[in-house]
Amino acid sequence: MSYFEWQMQRSGEKHKFKIEFINKNNFFGGIWGANSNGTTWVTIVTQVANEKTAEIHNSGDNKHRQPIIIRRENQDAWLDLKLNT
């Protein structure tokens, strides 16, 4: 699993970083729903960035944030409707 973050350089240009996880059993925390027209929407939930990601994701309206990563041992609880309602 991986995702990309952009870092604003002093020159004003952006540099793309690929953040890749060693443990491929993790996944992004997210929410989804259905629209009245039959399409589906999905949103990846974010949190305050750790030190390394905050340094990379350093500009814009949502700076210093990163996706929530759900570890394998927490996946069943994340998906359990009884716990999420």
Q: Give me the pLDDT at residue 9, please.
A: 87
Q: Which residues pair with 47 in a beta bridge?
A: 66
Contact by Cβ (8 Å): 22, 68 = no
Per-residue pLDDT for the chain (85 aa), expressed as one digit of tens each?
888 888 888 898 988 999 998 888 999 999 999 999 999 999 999 999 988 888 887 777 778 889 999 999 999 998 888 876 5
pLDDT at position 38 is 94
DSSP class of residue 9 equals -
SS (H, E, C) 58-79: CCCCCCCEEECEECHHHHHHHH
pLDDT of residue 44: 93
pLDDT score at 73: 93
C-alpha span between 5 and 66 (Å, rounded): 9
Q: Tell me how far apart the alpha carbons of residues 82 and 43 are, in angstroms, rounded to a whole number.
A: 20
50 vs 22: CA distance, rounded Å: 17
